[in-house]
Amino acid sequence: MAMTADGKIATANRTIASFGSPRDHAHLLELRATADAVMSGARTVDSAKINLGPGGAKFQKQRLKRGLAEFNLRIIVSGSGSLDPQAEVFRHAFSPIIILTTRRATANQLARLRRVATEVKICGAKEINFAAALRWLRRKWNVQRLLCEGGGDLNDALFRAGLVDELHLTVCPKIFGGRTAPTIAAGIGFKTLAQAKPLQLRSAHRVGAEMFLVYGKIG
Ligand SMILES: NC(=O)c1ccc[n+]([C@@H]2O[C@H](COP(=O)([O-])OP(=O)(O)OC[C@H]3O[C@@H](n4cnc5c(N)ncnc54)[C@H](OP(=O)(O)O)[C@@H]3O)[C@@H](O)[C@H]2O)c1
């Protein structure tokens, strides 16, 4: 995740969400090249012109050298099925697209999404059971390493489910402000300090005016 110095991942009006340097963007693609699948939330996917792919021949080569598929799987989370079937991601057919949803999605929404995705998987009644969803992804699609690229709502659900092993954070020298601007973990959050997720700082590198931080989970 790229984050401003005041902890935001987009402006309050959501118009600006890409604000890292070219180095930060390269870091994102380097990470994608280590993962079997890339996962994003519905609002990230339908608000931006992104395809969630490897990002070029250089990265495809790196993937093959590591024994990964040339193109990563793409996973989109949309609990209510509100994901836009016209989103840019569906215009790129290089790898399967899997949508995780719940029984809240209507038959109509499911039919629309099934027309554009490789598979639409219902993973719970009202909420997505991420532990079960990730087990299914491993079993059916052989996803061993998953890169979640946000946004904040999806990240929060994964933190609360205790499913995040590593957090890659780029701190960018900007202030966005705005009470409603999303942060790296928005959603519901933890209610007490005792519940807060403890992290261990694994590395910190400065490149230009940005800090590249890697945190690991404790325990
Ligand atoms: N700076 C960065 O690195 C970065 C990275 C990614 C995104 N962003 C920005 O962040 C903003 C989007 O973040 P966001 O937090 O608003 O949205 P988000 O997490 O991308 O998507 C939220 C939607 O995803 C689905 N979802 C997420 N968690 C879910 C869960 N636990 N169960 C079921 N469905 C779930 C829901 O879809 P339904 O409504 O269909 O149920 C929810 O409305 C955008 O402006 C984006 O550009 C910035």
Proportion of the chain in helix, strand, coil states, percent, rounded to 5: 30, 25, 50
Residues paired with 38 in a beta bridge? 74, 147
Are the C-beta atoms of residues 137 and 98 closer than 8 Å to each other? yes
User: Mean pLDDT for the chain?
Assistant: 96
State yes or no: pLDDT of 135 exceeds 90. Answer: yes
pLDDT level of residue 17 (50, 70, 90 thresholds): confident
Q: What is the dihedral of CA 85, 88, 42, 24, to 10 degrees?
A: 170
Determine the atom of ligand 1 nearest the C-alpha atom of 2. 3
- In angstroms, what is the span from residue 140 Cα to ligand 1's centroid? 24
Q: Report the pLDDT averaged over residues 200-216.
A: 97
State yes or no: pLDDT of 48 exceeds 90. Answer: no
Q: Which two tokens stand for residue 102?
A: 């719940």
Q: Shortest CA distance to 151 belongs to which of 95, 57, 76?
A: 76
Determine whether the shortest distance from the Cβ of 83 to ligand 1 is under 6 A: yes
The β-bridge relationship of strands 37-41 and 73-77 is parallel
Determine whether the shortest distance from the Cβ of 127 to ligand 1 is under 6 A: yes
